[in-house]
Amino acid sequence: MPDTRIHYIRAKDEPAVFKAKWVIKDPWTILENAGIAVAAGRITSVLDTVPSGPSVTDCGPGILMPPLVNAHMHLELSALAHRLPLGKGFEPWVKALLTARDSLGPSALIRAARHAVQALPGQGTGLVGEVSTLGLTRSLLTDPGLAGVWFQEYLGTGYPAPDLAADFPLSASAAGHAPHTTSPDLLRYLKNRIQKAGLVFSIHVAESDAEMRFIEGNNRSWHDFLIQRGIDPKDWPVGNKTPVKYLKDLGILGPHTLAVHLLQVTDTDLDLLADTKTCICLCPRSNQNLHNRIPDIPALLKRHLKPALGTDSLASCESLSLFDEMAFVRHLCPKVSPADIFAMATKNGASALGLADRFGTLSPGKQSEFIYLDTGVSSRDQVLEKVICYGTR
């Protein structure tokens, strides 16, 4: 059922003002009885006081805020919702996923992905990082008017020719699957091409035990599995290192790389991520469901890393709602401030996807798109708490 209290507003091109009892300009600036002036598809100013007039729309007593950003998801796995074993370990889940995905076939995958993507604006999401292994979801993102980056994901070896396009509202980029599934040559090749195109590169990193052990050089069974799949990892420079260090040595880290998960990282890894200004994205509900743990968010924030939030797919997560993801983080990490959690779902995600000039805050120059959350709050102190606890944890 759509949530009738979440309204996704895309202002038309004519000059107009939208006001509300509360306006979250950014995670650290909350205005009362304020408004947003827009024209020609952009925010022109943020108004502390709003004069009345025919071009003013009073949204009501609730909260006007930036669209939410889902920086990592896989729409093409939406058909697998409620079909896979959660809580029984990662490897059984992966095997069940591959079997179920193959048995469903592309038309069922596309149908479920279309249904899921259409619901996103009604869940407050306006900007996405969508990762597609089968290449089925690119055209689906345009219908609900989403902005973001569509990543074609690669595993194994080879030198593919991804269709790269630095366009707005939707860019096309590429992703490496993970350090233990994608050859170092392919990772370097993709990163190099994407960098030249001015795009963001995405990769899962430091997620599973199998990955950690393989990169340490202690996972013969994963080595044998790769051989069975026709991939010979004998020249991969694994051994005595973490996945983050492995990617650093390959030259993959940097400000235009989005490292997703970081469930298992050392202090040195955190230093490497911070020193290289690598963008990071966390998917805590997916991690909890598959690995029974979540990343150390306070440690990441202490290093001044700015985590984005993603939901991963409906194969490992209950919903694609960022309200739900924020509520889960709030529940499991009560010491992380509401402003930091809200930043993860807005500003940090926009930066991670290379779209900080268009999304993430309600500031002049940003897209004239916002959410109105129709829920009352009696004081400024409660606004962010209300927003981050709004979802189902």
CB-based burial of residue 66 (10 Å sphere; 0-12 exposed, 13-18 middle, 19+ buried)? buried
Q: For residues 191 and 201, is the Cβ–Cβ distance under 8 A?
A: yes
Residue of minimal Cβ distance to Zn ion: 312
Closer residue to Zn ion in complex, CB, 132/183: 132
User: DSSP assignment of 80-130, as one string?
Assistant: GTTTS--SS-HHHHHHHHHHHHHHH-HHHHHHHHHHHHHHTGGGTEEEEEE
Q: Please report, as residue ranges, which positions from 287 to 316 form the binding site for Zn ion (by CB under 5 A).
A: 312
CA distances to 97, 108, 141 from 114, in Å: 19, 10, 8
Q: For residues 62 and 370, is the Cβ–Cβ distance under 8 A?
A: no
Site string for Zn ion, 95-124 (x = CB under 5 A): ------------------------------
How far the first Cα of the chain sits from its last, in Å, is: 17
Closer residue to Zn ion in complex, CB, 207/269: 207
Closer residue to Zn ion in complex, CB, 151/323: 151
CB of 165 to Zn ion, least distance (A): 22
Alpha-carbon dihedral 340, 341, 345, 347, rounded to 10 degrees:
-10
Place of tokens 């340490």: 216
Closer residue to Zn ion in complex, CB, 26/312: 312
CB of 153 to Zn ion, least distance (A): 9
Closer residue to Zn ion in complex, CB, 312/369: 312
- Number of residues forming the site for Zn ion (CB under 5 A): 1
Query: Structure tokens of 143?
Result: 């219908």
CB of 312 to Zn ion, least distance (A): 5
CB of 39 to Zn ion, least distance (A): 38
Query: Structure tokens of 87?
Result: 């809580």
Closer residue to Zn ion in complex, CB, 74/114: 74
3-state secondary structure of 162: coil
Nearest to 282 by CA among 263, 303, 304, 268: 263
CB of 297 to Zn ion, least distance (A): 18
Closer residue to Zn ion in complex, CB, 74/245: 74
CA 258 to chain centre: 9
CB of 40 to Zn ion, least distance (A): 36
Residue type, 244: V
CB of 342 to Zn ion, least distance (A): 23
Q: Does 324 bind Zn ion (CB under 5 A)?
A: no
CB of 72 to Zn ion, least distance (A): 6
Q: Please report, as residue ranges, which positions from 183 to 242 form the binding site for Zn ion (by CB under 5 A).
A: none
Closer residue to Zn ion in complex, CB, 75/383: 75
Residues that bind Zn ion (CB under 5 A): 312
